Structure 1
Amino acid sequence: QTDLELTRQEKVKIVSHLLKQAPPEEFHEAFSDLRLLVDDDSLMCQEAASLCALHNKLHFTPVRRKACEVLLTRHNELEEKHFLDPQRQVSFKFDHVKREASEFEAHLQEDEKGESWRRTLHEGLKAYVSSHYPEGLCSVFIKDTAIRKILIACIASRLHRPSAFWNGLWKSEWTFAVTPSSTQVTGTIMVQAHYFEDGNIHLTAYKDVTETLPVTTEAQTAQDFVKLLENADNQFQGGLMEEYQSMSDTHLKAFRRQLPITHSTIDWEKIVTAKIVQVPAVQ
């Protein structure tokens, strides 16, 4: 072994770090490329399942089947490879590498009051997601502590367009406790975009949100929460558009060769004709 060779542990660390950064819907492509570079199938196969599972939960991978429709997250993971769909009240096993769901079983919720709050919030959120997110999906989970019930809302909308050389993901996660009078909502919105035609541009943007939410009836609280979420989404999207315009005018131009900007079409025929005229006659 030379000083330039990496140990197995160092290779695992590097592979793990790179795959955690894999763009949405591109884990398997990134894995295949790294497999060729590392040239150690035993190492890659050993790490594949756990890294793929982490990727799926981190990016809120959707599972759409007849038996269930839910996002994969750390909040509904029951045990290794098993997840819960609280809306359909079923559990299932998920193969992260093959992206296959199986072994569906009934999984009833015992906390009727908590389930009522969760279901009402889910219905309100689902209506919002259906009208605002292309191919979007939402899931709402409830955690029951000794002193309060905590609701967790997750949203994910992804567009996979490899033929157009881009992929994108918009996801958000929101948490608040069901407490009398009012509660604090904390949320994180994240957008990832990857453009790879004749280049490689990868954008990741985050926004943390903290707001106060009045807690009244289940229906009214769900309605107020959706309004809060919509306002946060609009502000974040507006900020992204402003930043994109700024990047178009400054940073993205830096990737190109510096040329004067005339905002007019180049008349190539005129340029060619002028060059022909200027060529001196052969003596």
Structure 2
Amino acid sequence: MAQLEQPLTGQEKVKIVSSLLKQAPPEEFCEAFRDLRLLMGDDSLMCQEAASLCALHNKLYFTPVRRKECEVLLTRHNELEEEHFLDSQRQVSFKFDHLRKEASEFQAHPQEDEKGEAWRRALYEGLKAYVSSHYPGGICSVFIKDTAIRKILIACIASRLRRPSAFWNGLWKSEWTFTLTPASTSTQVAGTIMVQAHYFEDGNFHLTVCKDVAESLPVTTETQTSQDFVKLLEDADNQFQDGLMEEYQRMSDTHLKAFRRQLPIIHSTIDWEKIVTAKIVEIQVEVFC
């Protein structure tokens, strides 16, 4: 007689739930958490882990904080300590309640490195102009980390659209990093672009696409380097979007047809009501003739 499998430990349950919530569609963490709570059947454990799992999701998907005191993305790069974050542009720190999505306890947090702040601010201003014209409802944040011999600049972008009435949600986010070293005339930019979409009308289609980018960037003045960086980022975005649309078209013509009725060669739906009406008229004419 086969032995019954041992029940999962609390740690194993948390690991499984964490893995599933990392894949939660954009803007649907609460719904996914609620469903997993029912499936797990362990309310005390889920409530105990809720805050940490929500915090992980918020930082992973660059949750925006928009208040009159600050406008910044939540990331691992601007986390000061548990539940406290930094808005480098407004130079304020704040506490963030991940479950309620509320910011509080705003305090001044000035930058001490004036030279590094000049680089960060120039990069932010150039990036903000690009994001404002290309990302509906998008937001960007730029952070700087200073070491003994170099400065590390990190740029983050996130744009999310929530359309539950149309049965879809979407997220475009990217993260870019490069270093500034004294006397260096160029640097290597490393970027990651991710698009996540969820369509759930009469089905459940979840798409996640990521692309890594590595390019060389000339380093001159703050303003010129910022302009060159934004141009590099725009080219990478356009290439990624073009590739994504080509792949979507290819999937529509091949794989996605397995999930729906095949369309005619003209790639448009058939107006069955019009055809039926025409047929009825045709029959009536034949009868009267």
Which TM-score applies when normalising by structure 1?
0.92
For 2:179 and 2:11, locate their aligned partners in 1 and report how far apart those are by CA, in whole Å: 41
Please give the residue correspondences for 1:78-93 in structure 2 after superposition, counting only pairs within 5 Å. 78-93=80-95
CA-to-aligned-CA distance 1:95-129 (integer Å, 9 cap, x gap): 00100000000001000000000001000000000
Report how far residue 35 of structure 1 moved.
1.1
Report how far residue 7 of structure 1 moved.
3.2
**Change in CA separation of 1:273 and 1:20 when aligned onto 2, cut-off 3 Å:** same
The answer as to 2:250 corresponding to 1:242 is no
For 2:162 and 2:145, locate their aligned partners in 1 and report how far apart those are by CA, in whole Å: 32
SS of alignment partner, residue 134 of structure 1: coil
- Tell me which residue corresponds to 2:276: 268
- Tell me which residue corresponds to 2:43: 41
In structure 1, give the amino acid aligned to 2:14.
V
Report how far residue 34 of structure 1 moved.
1.0
- Tell me which residue corresponds to 1:131: 133
For 2:37 and 2:282, locate their aligned partners in 1 and report how far apart those are by CA, in whole Å: 54
For 1:272 and 1:34, locate their aligned partners in 2 and report how far apart those are by CA, in whole Å: 52
For 1:18 and 1:185, locate their aligned partners in 2 and report how far apart those are by CA, in whole Å: 31
SS of alignment partner, residue 120 of structure 2: helix
CA-to-aligned-CA distance 1:145-172 (integer Å, 9 cap, x gap): 1110010000000001111111000000
Report how far residue 77 of structure 1 moved.
0.1
SS of alignment partner, residue 243 of structure 1: helix
- Tell me which residue corresponds to 2:186: 182
- Tell me which residue corresponds to 2:120: 118
For 2:281 and 2:14, locate their aligned partners in 1 and report how far apart those are by CA, in whole Å: 61
- Tell me which residue corresponds to 2:210: 206
For 2:32 and 2:263, locate their aligned partners in 1 and report how far apart those are by CA, in whole Å: 38
SS of alignment partner, residue 213 of structure 1: strand
For 1:8 and 1:175, locate their aligned partners in 2 and report how far apart those are by CA, in whole Å: 37
For 1:140 and 1:194, locate their aligned partners in 2 and report how far apart those are by CA, in whole Å: 28
- Tell me which residue corresponds to 1:75: 77
For 1:38 and 1:125, locate their aligned partners in 2 and report how far apart those are by CA, in whole Å: 43
For 1:189 and 1:51, locate their aligned partners in 2 and report how far apart those are by CA, in whole Å: 23
- Tell me which residue corresponds to 1:251: 255
Please give the residue correspondences for 1:158-237 in structure 2 after superposition, counting only pairs within 5 Å. 158-179=160-181, 180-237=184-241
For 1:51 and 1:182, locate their aligned partners in 2 and report how far apart those are by CA, in whole Å: 39
- Tell me which residue corresponds to 1:107: 109
Report how far residue 3 of structure 1 moved.
2.8
Report how far residue 271 of structure 1 moved.
6.8
For 2:175 and 2:29, locate their aligned partners in 1 and report how far apart those are by CA, in whole Å: 22
Report how far residue 5 of structure 1 moved.
4.0
- Tell me which residue corresponds to 1:281: none
SS of alignment partner, residue 49 of structure 2: helix
SS of alignment partner, residue 77 of structure 2: helix
- Tell me which residue corresponds to 2:15: 13
- Cα RMSD over matched residues? 1.9
Which TM-score applies when normalising by structure 2?
0.90
For 1:222 and 1:8, locate their aligned partners in 2 and report how far apart those are by CA, in whole Å: 48
For 1:140 and 1:237, locate their aligned partners in 2 and report how far apart those are by CA, in whole Å: 23
**Change in CA separation of 1:200 and 1:109 when aligned onto 2, cut-off 3 Å:** same
Report how far residue 4 of structure 1 moved.
6.7
CA-to-aligned-CA distance 1:160-194 (integer Å, 9 cap, x gap): 11111110000000000113211110100000000
* Percent of aligned pairs with the same amino acid: 79
- Tell me which residue corresponds to 2:154: 152
Which structure 2 residue ranges, 5 or more long, are not aligned? Answer: 284-289
In structure 2, give the amino acid aligned to 1:197.
E
Which structure 1 residue ranges, 5 or more long, are not aligned? Answer: 276-283
Report how far residue 270 of structure 1 moved.
6.5
